Amino acid sequence: MQSIPYSVTLRPKIFVFTVMGTYAALAPIAVSSVFQHLLAVPMSVLLTMVSVCIFAVAWIMQREETSFKALNRIGISMILAIALPAFLSIAASIYALTVVQSVEYVAYFQHSLLNRLINIGMFATLSLLILFFIQKDVRKVTYSLTQGYFVGLSVLVAGGVWQFLHFTIGYPMPGFETRAFVHSVSEDVLINFRLTSFTDEPSFLVPFLIDGLIIGGMLLSKKAYSLYAIPAVLVLLLSFSVSGYVNLAVIVFSATILLFARGIIPKKVGLYAIISILILGMITVLIFPQLITALFMPIIGRLDSLFDVMHHSRLYMLVFPFVWLFDYSSINALFGFGPGSYDFLARTKYLSHQGAVSGTSNNAFIDLLFEHGVFGGLVFICVFIGVFVYLWRKRKGHLYNSIALLLWIHLGLTNMYRSDFASPRFWIIVLIVIGLTELAKRNITLSDRRASSSYKKKVTT
């Protein structure tokens, strides 16, 4: 008699976890403009809205009370660090209507402000609901998110390999409009394309590839991980993304430090390996200087203008918001021009060498600084650094804390060159980090059992 109600209550939970995994799997593909514009409503917004409704109904059906105090503090802090300054920024935007007195600002206020508020509200609600589920069953939630997300990341890797075959041997591939061409280079190049997979440009792709390298190391065996990592690194290298190369170098360095700290790699072995790699690299450059130069010309050819603020569009959009923030009033400098107000800049500010600036700086910290002001920007940065400090102090404990720290460092890096705090990827990484810290706190593994000493050794390896 006990099995009937159990099966009835189990099915909605299974459905919820399936939706979580599906949502996470579609997050990497959602950055593709082709996928985004399949319908009148952006697909990422539609998927998030549907997921929020399903999670809300499932939670109401459970009829279980959970206090906010029991929820993970990292998650609550991240939600409040964006939501509370957003409310203050709305008040500042109303004040700005009387100060700016601009047709462009009114156009932003009538359109982009509402869209941004909807996105912030949806992701805050989605994250809050998943925090409730994490509190009740952290293993299944974290398992669903990591497995689903990794499936989506694998699709991007497969798309990159497919694109490589298309460019090299003419293997048929649909004609996606991406920035796969080499630009800003005047000299001959050995490879005249850049891999973008199904994304719009290399800098969209690279964060996902590194996400997969980190998460795959936790989910896969050594052989399976090699089968994933080799093509993923190949696609990353052939993306010729400067920011991606720097990102990968920092993550490899951070992972090495963590492995040393945990004693997984003996310091002597690690030191010898680093010296050997450096010597091998120097020898390769000395023997094949022209080949190496031609191979990496898509990057080398852009270095002369990389740090030229007036002629590098991304750098221009990173630097000048600090100036534009103080153009009007101290109130707006302190609390911002409103959620999504970078759209106002896109309507009024122009690059020195081409057209109007983009609707985003591609830097989450700069976007928040202009939208939420000095106050909101500092609140977000302080919370983000606070989470980093917490994970750093826990790095020598459970392995999951070290993986969470590595993901957090990676999220901070991608926030600087290709990230949006109102996007599925941002919150999925935050929720995976939260799930890993909760698993570590409760001494639970992603498998369906408590962490035994033998299993810990296997996972650590």
- pLDDT exceeds cutoff 60 at 9: no
Residues in CB range of 388: below 8 A, 6 or more apart: 405, 408, 409, 412
- pLDDT exceeds cutoff 60 at 285: yes
Q: Please give the share of the chain, as a percent, with pLDDT higher than 90.
A: 38
Q: How many domains does the chain have?
A: 1
Residue-wise pLDDT tens digits, 158-185? 999 998 888 888 777 776 666 656 555 4
Model pLDDT, residue 60: 82
Q: Of 317 and 391, which is predicted with more confidence? A: 391
Domain that holds residue 394: 3-460
Model pLDDT, residue 446: 83
Q: Which residues of 34-73 are buried (b: 16+ CB within 10 A; e: fewer)?
A: ebbeeeeebbbbebbeebbebbeebbeebeeeeeeeebbe
Confidence (pTM)? 0.87
Give mean pLDDT, residues 217-242.
Answer: 90
- Going by C-alpha positions, the residue among 247, 211, 253, 255 that lies closest to residue 229 is 211
Q: Of 105 and 38, which is predicted with more confidence? A: 105
Sign of the CA dihedral running 53, 47, 110, 369: positive
- pLDDT exceeds cutoff 50 at 373: yes
- Going by C-alpha positions, the residue among 72, 79, 68 that lies closest to residue 138 is 72
